[in-house]
Structure 1
Amino acid sequence: MNAHPSKLTTPDLRDECLDGAQCLFDAELHDGPDPVEHPDARAAREDVAKDICATCPVQVACLEYAIRTRPVGGVWAGLTAEEIAQLAARRAVREQLADVYQGVA
């Protein structure tokens, strides 16, 4: 990747995420089985998925993509959808504050 993930368009970022992603080998591990799984089984599966994400060569691009698209489920870049939603909300607040401070300067 020549550009920082934050500089890529969302479609380009999606393509970047797919090139070499470790989750492609076992998508159910990251997305979960259908229809419902026991909470203990889900926690164990997510822990394994997070470990795999930790070694993924496209983790940074995946995180940027997940923050932009805000998935409703699964493990992305080592974070659950709920954790990504929280991170995205914090980022939005930081960006709003940065805009305010830039307007003052």
Structure 2
Amino acid sequence: MADLSRLPGALVYRWEWQLRGRCREADSTLFFHPLGERGPAAQAREEAAKAVCAECPVRIECRRHALQAREAYGVWGGLTEDDRHRLLTRRRSPVLS
């Protein structure tokens, strides 16, 4: 008989947090930059997306997912692409003495 304890959990269990995200009520373009967006426009859009994330009940789950999956684009859990890159780079960098 197969050992079912070694099988991955049901997808609903792993991804159900996404159904409770505040981003589901917002325009998705708020979280992903259009081609060529730079400067003040990008900063304003990212700040607006982060404001949605700040009120989100699943911000931590979303952030954890984005870091583990190495999401390359968009604002996830209140972190921009650059925010995530800095965090992940810092984790991999050796500690200087």
TM-score (norm 2): 0.71
Counterpart-to-counterpart distance in 2, 1:53 and 1:64: 13
Aligned match of 1:32: 33
Structure 1 residue 85 and structure 2 residue 82: aligned? no
Q: Deviations over 1:70-105 (max 9, x none)?
A: 1222111111111112212334569xx9xxxxxxxx
Q: How many angstroms does 1:64 deviate by? A: 0.5
8 Å contact kept, 1:16–1:58: no
Q: Which has the higher helix share?
A: 1
Aligned length: 84
Larger deviation, residues 56-65 vs 71-80: 71-80
Which runs of 5 or more residues in structure 2 are unaligned? 1-8
Percent identity (aligned): 35
Q: Give the 5 Å matches for 1:92-103.
A: 92=92
Which runs of 5 or more residues in structure 1 are unaligned? 1-8, 98-105
Q: Deviations over 1:41-91 (max 9, x none)?
A: 110000010011000011010010011111222111111111112212334
Structure 1 residue 41 and structure 2 residue 37: aligned? no
Local SS of the residue matching 1:79: coil
Aligned match of 1:51: 51
Greater C-alpha radius of gyration: 2
Local SS of the residue matching 1:89: helix
Counterpart-to-counterpart distance in 2, 1:16 and 1:90: 30
Q: Which amino acid aligns with 1:32?
A: H
Local SS of the residue matching 1:74: coil
Local SS of the residue matching 1:32: coil
